[in-house]
Every structure is written in C-alpha cells, then in structure tokens.
Homo-oligomer: A and B are copies of this chain.
Amino acid sequence: MDPKKISHPAIVELDGAYWFQEKSEESFPGQRFCLEVDEILHHSHSEFQDILIFKSKTFGNVLVLNGIIQCTEKDEFAYQELITHTAIMSHEKPSNVLVIGGGDCGVVRELVKHLDRGVDTITMVEIDDMVIKLLAQYLPHMAKFHDHPRVNIVIDDGFKFLRENKSKFDVIITDSSDPEGPAEEFFRTSYFELLSNALSPNGVVIMQSSENVWLNIDKLKELVSLSRHVFENVKYCQCYMPSYTSGQLGLIVATHNTSLNLTQPLRTFAADEEKKLFQYYSASVHQAAFVLPRWAADINEVDT
C-alpha cells in the first residue's frame, strides 16, 4: 500500500493501516463505522457532490458520496433488491417503471430481472452523470446494465423531470442519497406531490428514508407522516446490512390504492425461481421487512 495514494479527509491512519471513517455530527453523532482502505480508486468533486471510491480490505470496492457510504460490493445487493422488488412485487402489472436517482445502476440491474415478466419499460433519471461512469468502471457488477438497450437513462434533475413529465408510471423508485447534499428536496411534501402526479391510478412508490428506527425515530415518523398527507396507504420497512449506519436502513412504500396490502407481495415467484433471481429478497423477506420492534411498531399500525 502506497501511503501517497491514501489522502482524503475521512481517511485516517490507525494501528499502521488506513481507515475510512463514516461520521456525521448531525445525523449520527457519537458513532462511527470504519472500513480499512487498501487503495483510493477515485476522488473528485463533481458538479453536485464529493465522490470517493476506494478498495476496502473486506467489503470490496466502496462508493462514498459526501462522506456517507452508498454501496459496497459485499452487501449492496441487499438494499438494491429490497427497494426494487418490494415495490415491483406489490404491483399487479408494473409495466412502466421510473427510477429517480439510482446512479449506481443497482436498481436498474434488479429491474432488468423483471423485463417481460411484468415490466415493459425502465426509465432512470440521474442528475450526476459522473456517478454512472465511475460505477461502470469501479463497481461494474452493480452498473452492468448502465447501457442496457431497454433501459432509458436520462441525465437530468429528478424534480425537473417530474415537473415536465407527461407520462404515468406504475412504480416509481426514489433511490437518492441522504438529505445532506443534492438530495435534500427528496424528503419534502412537494416531492411526494410530484410523485403522486406521475403515478398511474394503482401505482406504487418506494423511497429510501435515510433513517432507521434507532437513529432518529421522531424524524422518521415525521417523514412517514408527510407521506401520509399525500398518499392514503403508506408503510415503512427496513433492510438489514452491515455497511449502513446502525446496520439498517428504512424504506417508505406508498400508494393511493387503499385496498393494497403493501406488507405482503401481491405476486410471488416459485421457490426455485426465487432462489435463482435473488440473493436477499424473497416473499418471506418482503413480509418480515415490515415487522418493526415493538417500540417502533406504531409506525405501521395505522388505519389506511
């Protein structure tokens, strides 16, 4: 390891090795998660954010935006699968799917599994072209379908796209980074209203919440409550994986369709097909993801 190659404000030397430290005084004071760094593969400031990609000792290559881990090769599939398939399998016929954000192309990779199995068109709107290019280079398994002929990638601001958009989508997946940085607007009512306008009548939206039940439950409840001002049927589920803060990250699923039980998949695959298609998701994982610890369970215990 060449120490000259290791220079980044979040990387420190400890016990003779280099460690990336994930820290945020605002979002998770008093706790840090650290990954040992073998080599910095890329560091730049794009027009929109600070982008760091490093080779870790035990988590494969890691993408960090504005100091926060977005994905590691070891465990990225957990989040990518849960956010994608929970929404897709909750819709009877998710013909047209829109992804807002998702520049790592992990959601797109998962969506391709559903082409001609319910999904007909995939559109992804990512603001930062640089993220897509870098992922294709450094986390190629995630971004393997960044140039898939049936995936329409639009480089644009998600807000602008939704405002100008005339099409309706059956599923919209918001795969944004955290509210600090360019994604701040994705955590407001005005965004939920744009989503609502772009949705077909029985459409389903899913978004990462940037929270979990342990971090800041009041903020999480506020976000769920904001969603309920716009959507009649809102549920919250969690993904459990080591590289996210507290080992878990929450997702908000919402629809205007009040007869839909979002906590159970509407469609399922046969067991052997499920094994072939998924590493993290299954019909059982779908249901279990909505089961919250007793003290937080009231988030989902509402009349919808």
Contacts and interface: CB of A to CB of B under 8 A. Distances in A.
10 contacts: A14-B21, A30-B36, A31-B58, A34-B34, A74-B214, A242-B246, A242-B248, A247-B247, A287-B291, A288-B291
Given A30-B59, A31-B33, 10 more contacts: A14-B21, A28-B58, A30-B35, A31-B36, A31-B242, A241-B246, A242-B247, A246-B247, A279-B293, A282-B294
Number of copies: 2
Chain A interface residue bracket vs B: 35 or more
A241 B238 CA distance: 12
A266 B275 CA distance: 30
A255 interface: no
Contacts of A23: 15
Interface string A228-246: 0000000000101110111
A75 interface: yes
Interface string A1-14: 00000000000101
A14 B11 CA distance: 11
Contacts of A294: 274-275, 278-282, 285
Interface string A175-186: 000000000000
A278 B288 CA distance: 19
Interface of A: 12, 14-15, 19, 21, 23, 28-36, 56-59, 74-75, 78, 214, 238, 240-242, 244-248, 274-275, 278-282, 284-285, 287-288, 291, 293-295, 297
Nearest to A25: B15
A30 B134 CA distance: 24
Q: Nearest 10 CB-CB pairs, A to B?
A: A247-B247, A30-B58, A30-B57, A242-B246, A288-B291, A288-B288, A32-B34, A30-B36, A279-B295, A280-B293
Nearest to A242: B246
A287 to B, nearest CB: 7
Nearest to A19: B32
Nearest to A22: B34
A278 B294 CA distance: 7
A205 to B, nearest CB: 24
Nearest to A57: B30
Contacts of A242: 31, 214, 245-248
Contacts of A59: 30-31
Contacts of A281: 294
Contacts of A35: 30-31
